[in-house]
Amino acid sequence: MSFIRKLLLPVGGPVVALAIILLVWDLAVRIYQIPAYVLPSPQLTWAHVLSDLPVLWEGFRITFLTFLLGFVLGAMAGFVFAVIMDATPWVRGVLYPILIASQAVPVIAISAALTIWLGFGLAPKLVIVALVVFFPVVVNVLDGLNSVDRDMLNLVKSMGGSRLSIFRHVKLPATYTPLFSALKLSATFSVTGAVIGEWTASTSGGLGAYLLQANSRLNTAGTFSAIGFLALLGVLSFLLVILLEYLMTPWRNGSKARRWSRHYWRDGK
């Protein structure tokens, strides 16, 4: 019973909140007699989802693939840049102000230029999503690397630790918490980046293209259906980051380390 309670408690709150939103939405449409082309009822939106489910699902698959590839690309690039800037202060002094200035430019403003440079297709969409992830990862990982206790670093150096071992066993673990904070923050924003990319450079559909098509036809039910699938994609991306954090930081989930972790350190690897 306790296990079932632990499983249902995190899910129960969002389900109740969603039910309340749907109820208020339905009551507002009925009481104020809002036309369907202005605000469709939940029933009408659900009926549209069922009638157009294959197209919506295909758009979800395409947008999810764009998001996933761009997210991984941006996270890896941001982590590598943070490590390089931490290891070489002069590189940090040169690149960090440029990175800060680049955040003043909205992604949607450079999406058209990316389409001109990279053409239509997957490449500009991946770059847009990667740009959304890149800066938060760089800043947070860099803060994690700088937060390492200097006395700990000096102790490991005095014990003969190499630069690689210091990074692997001292600095790298310090980046996990800020890294996953940045990834969770960027997960939902990256979905917006994928949609912007599909608006400007899509040749293969996706939820962004579906949303544009529904808007051009004044298909409000189709618009809300696409919004619902995008919300689902944002929640799924956030949960995937939480799952990855759980797998990579087992010491934060209980008092006992995982068996493979104990063997890993016992063997001195």
Give residue limits of the domains in the chain: 1-32, 41-252
Percent pLDDT > 90 in the chain is: 48
Q: Evaluate if residue 223 carries a pLDDT over 60.
A: yes
Q: Evaluate if residue 128 carries a pLDDT over 90.
A: yes
Q: Evaluate if residue 7 carries a pLDDT over 80.
A: no
Crossing angle of the two packed helices 53-87 and 220-248, in degrees rounded to 10: 40
**What integer is the mean pLDDT of 97-116?**
84
**What integer is the mean pLDDT of 251-259?**
57
**What integer is the mean pLDDT of 83-112?**
86
Q: Evaluate if residue 11 carries a pLDDT over 90.
A: no
Fold of the CATH domain 41-252: MetI-like fold (1.10.3720)
Lowest mean pLDDT among 245-249, 251-255, 260-264: 260-264
When mean pLDDT is compared over 216-220, 229-233, 261-265, the highest value belongs to 229-233
Distances from the Cα of 224 to the Cα of 185, 209, 228, angstroms: 24, 14, 6
